[in-house]
Structure 1
Amino acid sequence: MDNEFADRVILVTGGTGGLGTSVVNMFIKQNPKVLVIAHRTEKDKSSFSNLLDEGGKEAISKKTDTIVEFVKADVTTEDSVKAMITEIEQKYDKIDILANIVGGYMGGKSIEETTLGEFDFMININLKAAFLLTKYAISSMKLRSTGKIVHVSSASGVKAFGNDTAYSSSKAGLIRLVESVKEEVKNNGININCILPTIIDTKANREAMPHSDFSKWLDPNDLARVILYLCSDSSKSVNGAAIRTDGRT
């Protein structure tokens, strides 16, 4: 994949989380033209202080010539997503790749214990965000008859494990979204896929589940490699797929 992304404009959402950081760092090594990282708060930027020069919203990576830009956005709100996509298109003329790493987990409750607010939160962050990002990114990609979109679903989207009604429902919906959109854009040179991980070995997950067997958890760098493959030209034949990435679990 050396220099394959050299002329690409890439949008990574959720790029400051555990998996997102791995994805961003791997993209940086590929020296893309532009890497836009969507985030919620100014504090999120600190994840990449080792990669970026001082100053401003836009910065140049210390290791490459890539333009790295942080854009504050609420990806569960249509106006915010539309404004972000429009801003990127106006500034860089296109979006080649959308790597949507945004997501969340809320489980451990029976359906009777799950509140409507908790259910709505899971649908919003895991499914609605993917819908909005895909909807507006695809319009730009269709104009050039090329594009790559990758979402992060879950093994729970294929088989639920109980006490996770809201989460598994949202992730199952994401798989169907990918399959449906693939049928709509398969003749437009656009690939859309998702991965199906189990528990990812991140700081947040270790803090939330300190007594778990971390050896069975997924290395975020391994998942990032799969995501980069799906964003590359090598994955042209992969479309509408939900790829199991469940490691040793």
Structure 2
Amino acid sequence: MTRSVIVTGGFGVLGSAVAEVFASRGDKVARIDYAPTASAPLAGSLEIGGIDLTDVEATKGALAKVVAANGGIDVLVNVAGGFAWETLEDGSLATWAKMQSMNVMTGATITQLALPELKKSEAGRIVNIGAGGAVKAGMGMGAYAASKSGVHRMTEALAEELAGSSVTANAVLPSIIDTPTNRADMPDADYSEWVSPDAVAKVIHFLASADGAAITGALIPVSRGG
């Protein structure tokens, strides 16, 4: 069965990997991103750029385009988000609000607005991106970890809210993802210990598959994969 899949943050490294996995399995994919355009197009994908996912009306407009083009929404993967490293003493309180907005409110907004369509699906799936670093926060990770912990709690609460419906809600908790940005930020790190975007994407695809139907409310660590 061909499904309608939305990947937020779909123009980024992880979002692109997720979109590619679903597209390669024959699904209709829509990539929604804050960036105006993708650096590399994905063949057959509906590309919707310039969307602030904390803006309700803009998000409604993007979802309407997806429903019109792909006939509904079966899978929502919330990749959109951001990262900041700074200590509380020397950092900015504005960073805490920014992380909350980028990591929690983006997902909360589009999920709430997409739920009517997801609940029409025979097997609706929501997969959020949490963080291994939010299970126990290290120095400088307070604002980021607090926001990703919010994603974890939102996922758990949403799964209970949707109990008895056709929709599941889960989150993956990657360790450090092997991206060009992370390599530039941590040039002396051992990249072999990092998880590849493709490995994360395959776990997400499993959770969204028929074989993942029995899993909901789970926070799944993803820490291996070359």
TM-score of the two chains, using structure 2 as the length reference? 0.93
Report how many residues are paired.
224
**Structure 2 contact 53–109 (Cα < 8 Å) conserved:** yes
CA shift for structure 1 position 162: 2.2
CA shift for structure 1 position 243: 0.2
| 2:38 aligned counterpart, secondary structure | helix
Matched with 1:35 is: 29
Matched with 1:13 is: 8
| CA gap 1:110/1:209 in 2 versus in 1, 3 angstroms | same
Alignment deviations for residues 193-243 of structure 1 (CA, whole Å, 9 cap, x no partner):
001111100111111222222111111111111010011111011001000
What percent of counterpart residues are identical? 29
**Structure 1 contact 146–188 (Cα < 8 Å) conserved:** no
Distance in 1 between residues matched to 2:94 and 2:123, nearest whole Å? 38
Mapped pair 1:171 → 2:148: yes
**Structure 2 contact 152–219 (Cα < 8 Å) conserved:** yes
Alignment deviations for residues 99-132 of structure 1 (CA, whole Å, 9 cap, x no partner):
111121101x221222122111111111111111
Runs of 4+ in 1 over 4 A off after TM superposition: none
CA shift for structure 1 position 15: 1.4
Of 184, 199, 202, which aligns to 1:207? 184
| Structure-to-structure mapping, 1:1-80, within 5 angstroms | 6-32=1-27, 34-42=28-36, 44-48=37-41, 51-52=42-43, 60=44, 68-72=45-49, 73-80=51-58
| 1:127 aligned counterpart, secondary structure | helix
CA shift for structure 1 position 97: 0.4
| Structure-to-structure mapping, 1:125-144, within 5 angstroms | 125-144=102-121
CA shift for structure 1 position 25: 1.5
Of 78, 92, 97, which aligns to 2:70? 92
Matched with 1:198 is: 175
| Aligned-residue CA RMSD (Å) | 1.6
CA shift for structure 1 position 145: 5.2
Q: What amino acid maps onto 2:17 in structure 1?
A: S
Of 73, 83, 98, which aligns to 2:61? 83
TM-score of the two chains, using structure 1 as the length reference? 0.85
The unaligned stretches of length 5 or more in structure 1 are 1-5, 53-59, 61-67
- Look at both structures and tell me which one has the larger radius of gyration over its CA atoms: 1
| 2:169 aligned counterpart, secondary structure | strand
**Structure 2 contact 77–128 (Cα < 8 Å) conserved:** yes
**Structure 1 contact 104–122 (Cα < 8 Å) conserved:** yes
Mapped pair 1:185 → 2:180: no
